[in-house]
């Protein structure tokens, strides 16, 4: 195995592992927000604001993973 194939494998593992947690987190956030809005529809604007903020932070982790994978690939 040469260095280029190791870099490709490392990039693939970085993306695969680094995207699983944010995907699960976003799914749980959306599910719990839908449950909360279903139980208390009057609080929907507050719940929705907190949900969008939490999803943005979870998505940031996936973006950081992409950046790390690109650094591994191109250095």
Neighbours of 11 (CB within 10 A): 17
What pLDDT score was predicted for residue 62?
A: 92
- DSSP class per residue in 37-56: HHH-GGGHHHHHHHHHHHHH
Residues of the chain with pLDDT under 70: none
What pLDDT score was predicted for residue 2?
A: 86
Using a cut of 0.75, tell me whether the model's pTM lies above it: yes
Q: Domain ranges in the chain?
A: 3-74
Q: What own/partner pairs with CB < 8 Å and gap ≥ 24 does 23-28 have?
A: 23/62, 25/54, 25/58, 25/61, 26/55, 26/58, 26/59
What pLDDT score was predicted for residue 60?
A: 94
Indicate the fold that domain 3-74 takes in CATH. Answer: F1FO ATP Synthase (1.20.20)
């Amino acid at each position: 195995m040469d260095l280029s194939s190791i870099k490709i494998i490392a990039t693939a593992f970085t993306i695969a592992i680094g995207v699983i947690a944010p995907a699960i987190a976003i799914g749980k956030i959306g599910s719990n927000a839908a449950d909360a809005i279903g139980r208390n529809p009057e609080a929907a604007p507050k719940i929705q604001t907190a949900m969008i903020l939490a999803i943005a932070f979870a998505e940031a982790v996936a973006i950081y993973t992409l950046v790390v994978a690109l650094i591994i690939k191109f250095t």
